[in-house]
Amino acid sequence: MLSLMILIPLACLLLISFLPLKGKRVAFAVVMALAFFQIYAVFSPSIMANRHLPGLASVFNFTLAVDSLSRIMLLCIGIVIFIALLAAGPFVKEEDKRFYFSGLMILELMGLNGVVMVRDIFSMYVFWEVAAAASFVLIALEKKRDPLEGAFKYLIFSSVATVFVLSAIAIILLISGSTSFTDIRVALLVTPHSNLIILAVGVFLAGLFMKAGVMPFHGYLPDAYASAPAPVSILLAGVVTKTLGVYTAMRIVIDIFGFSTALKSILLCIGLISAIFGALAAMGQKDLKRLLAYSSISQVGYIFLGFGCGTPLGIAAAIFHIFNHTVFKSLLFVNAAAVEDRLGTLDMGRMSGLASRMPITGTTSVLASLSLSGVPPLAGFWSKLFIILALWQSGLYGVAVTAVLTSLLTLAYMLLLQRRVFFGTPEKNMAGVVEAGFNLTLPAVILAILIAGVGLFFPYVVHTVIFPVVSF
């Protein structure tokens, strides 16, 4: 039944494409329904059970699989697609554009779902490309120059990453003769210590790092995030880079390469560099979305730090942090969208005291900032705590301490953001500003409730959702 996760969106896409104009109006609603279906499906055992489709549909029985990790990613994808679609209202206004936007969202959804569910390295690559292509068209959706440049940058770097991954896949195929995860794993165990394999691993990882946007592979990411239309920024920061980069890296390392000492040190090193320098770079930004983009880099660094421990706790912490990051970063981008919608700018120098003008946006943004900075009892605190605990348990005391100090930096730049944008008294040019519309405050409130809820009920969340992931 897993095939449904791809087939139903595809059917919907064809449906809205080939229906006359009437269908285009309902495009948004269709995507919304798809997002709901996705969230429902994650919690539905009958869909998640890997049963074959009956009868004629058996043509579409693909080799897909889900485990807890995949399910969390599917959930994240569903949530973010839903949020992005809600937030798209004020930014995608023309009817035909709405149609294309919806279509691309469905394509993105299919691509991401595919990446999450396949257990074959080449299929993974194909869906990877689908998601990437959909992303850069989405970035370029606006007519202006900046989005085109951002899209172009994303395209270039994406293709470089593609080249890396593709060549690595080629080498692996050369050696293993198969592309399914299990076969490759066995083949790699049979032929260890080959320079060629090492090269393949290195190049593969580099490609994934580029997609994940960790330092020093991150160059394109701030431009892409900052120039994309608001809903697309939410999508990119929330799930696209996380799925294409972070999830894939985790999947490949867990299922194929396994944790070797060298691999762990690479992951930790990359994580540490990203966490520190991402945070430092974020401090100096003047553009709201660029700041959030660098913060995203820093948080991905944290995820890799947790993952790089290689211990069950570390992996669980990394996954938990992926989920939390998805939620609070989406929320921050929703807030940025609200600000952009009302002010027409993202330059933080021209904002002041918005909290009094936009109370919902201000409040939810504070919540998200605190969660991001790891302030108890919000969700972000627990995942960061787990990451640091995992580091400590692995005997990486220096790294753990650095991670703690870096979270101070995080707090610093988030407070800087809050002070510049939301706190204080509004200046004269803020006089006419009012709270953003319903379709920007609703997602903000939903995400804020998620942050607080996961934070407060974290023992339940951790034991029922997060820890089962590492029981492999």
Partner 1 sequence: MTNLFLPLLIFGPLLAGCLVVLVPQRVRFLKEALVLAVTAADLVLCLRLFPEEMTLFYPWGAYGIDFSLRLYRFSAFILAAAGGFAFLIALYSCVFMFAKEKGRLFFALFLFSLSLVNGAVLSDNLIVLLFFWEGLLLTVFGLIAIGGKTAFKTAVKALVIVGVADLCMMIGIALVGHLSGTFAISKIQLSLGGLGSLAFVLMMIGAISKAGSMPFHTWIPDASIDAPLPFMAFLPAALEKLLGIYLLARICLDLFKLVPESGLSMALMIIGSVTILLAVMMALIQKNYKRLLSYHAISQVGYMILGIGTAVPIGIVGGLFHMINHAMYKSCLFLTSGAVERQSGTTDLERLGGLAGKMPVTFLCFFIAAAAISGVPPFNGFFSKELIYDGALERGLVFYLAAILGSFLTAASFLKLGHAAYLGPKSEATQKAKEAPVIMLIPMIVIAAGCVYFGLQRSFPIGQLVQPAIENHLEGQDFSSLLPNKKLVAVTAIMLLMALVNHILGAKMKGSGLKAVDYIHDAPVLSGLYEKAERRCFDPYEWGRVFMKGFSYLLWRLDRGIDWVYNAGLPGCARALSNTLSRWHSGSYVTYLGWSLGGLLVLVIFLLSTRSF
Partner 2 sequence: MGTQALNMDIVILFLMALAALWTVMTRSLLRSAIGLALTSAMLTILMFRLHAPLAAVFELSVCSGLISVVFIATISVTQPMSQEKVLQHMRDRLERFWYLPILLVLIGIVLSFVSFKFNLSVPLPEIEKDPRVVLWNQRPLDLLGQIIMLLTGVFGIIILFREAKQK
Residues that bind partner 2 (CB under 8 A): 6, 10, 13, 59-60, 62-64, 100, 103-104, 107, 110-111, 114, 118, 120, 122-123, 126-127, 129-130, 133-134, 136-137, 140-141, 143, 145, 148-149, 151-152, 155, 159, 173-179, 187, 190-191, 194-196, 199
- Read off the tokens for 54: 């009956």
Rounded Cα–Cα distance for residues 193 and 209 (Å): 23
Rounded Cα–Cα distance for residues 302 and 307 (Å): 9
In the range 177-196, which residues lie near partner 1 by CB under 8 A? 188, 192-195
Q: Quote the least distance from Cβ 283 to partner 1, whole Å.
A: 4
Residue 120 interface partner, choices partner 1, partner 2, none, CB cut-off 5-8 Å depending on type: partner 2
Query: Between 204 and 302, whose beta carbon lies closer to partner 1?
Result: 204
| 281 makes contact with partner 1 (CB under 8 A) | yes
Residue 392 interface partner, choices partner 2, partner 1, none, CB cut-off 5-8 Å depending on type: none
Residue 435 interface partner, choices partner 1, partner 2, none, CB cut-off 5-8 Å depending on type: none
Of 299, 306, 275, 448, the C-alpha closest to 378 is 448
Residue 190 interface partner, choices partner 2, partner 1, none, CB cut-off 5-8 Å depending on type: partner 2
φ and ψ of 140, to 5 deg: -80, 10
CA distances to 19, 142, 155 from 94, rounded to whole Å, are: 18, 12, 25
Residue 381 interface partner, choices partner 2, partner 1, none, CB cut-off 5-8 Å depending on type: none
| 220 makes contact with partner 1 (CB under 8 A) | yes
Across-strand partners of 64? Answer: 118
| 163 makes contact with partner 1 (CB under 8 A) | no
| 157 makes contact with partner 1 (CB under 8 A) | yes
Query: Between 11 and 199, whose beta carbon lies closer to partner 1?
Result: 199
Provide the residue type at 124 as one letter: M
| 164 makes contact with partner 1 (CB under 8 A) | yes
In the range 393-432, which residues lie near partner 1 by CB under 8 A? 409, 412
Residue 153 interface partner, choices partner 1, partner 2, none, CB cut-off 5-8 Å depending on type: partner 1
Rounded Cα–Cα distance for residues 292 and 231 (Å): 14
Q: Quote the least distance from Cβ 136 to partner 2, whole Å.
A: 7
Per-residue buried b or exposed e for 409-430, using 16+ beta carbons within 10 Å of the residue's own CB? bbbebbebbbebbbbeebeeeb
| 209 makes contact with partner 1 (CB under 8 A) | yes
Query: Between 154 and 277, whose beta carbon lies closer to partner 2?
Result: 154
Rounded Cα–Cα distance for residues 123 and 293 (Å): 29
| 175 makes contact with partner 1 (CB under 8 A) | no
Residue 261 interface partner, choices partner 2, partner 1, none, CB cut-off 5-8 Å depending on type: partner 1
Residue 173 interface partner, choices partner 1, partner 2, none, CB cut-off 5-8 Å depending on type: partner 2
| Rg of the chain (C-alpha set) | 21
Residue 114 interface partner, choices partner 1, partner 2, none, CB cut-off 5-8 Å depending on type: partner 2
| 262 makes contact with partner 1 (CB under 8 A) | yes
Single out the segment in contact with partner 1 by CB under 8 A; choices: 21-29, 99-107, 245-253, 283-291: 283-291
Of 325, 195, 206, the C-alpha closest to 270 is 206
Residue 280 interface partner, choices partner 1, partner 2, none, CB cut-off 5-8 Å depending on type: partner 1
| 266 makes contact with partner 1 (CB under 8 A) | yes
Q: Quote the least distance from Cβ 150 to partner 2, whole Å.
A: 10
- Identify the burial level of 165 via C-beta atoms within 10 angstroms of its C-beta, where 0-12 means exposed, 13-18 middle and 19 or more buried: buried
Which residues are at the interface with partner 1 (CB under 8 A)?
Answer: 153, 156-157, 160, 164, 188, 192-195, 197-199, 201-203, 205-206, 209-210, 216-217, 219-220, 222-223, 257, 260-263, 266, 277, 280-285, 409, 412
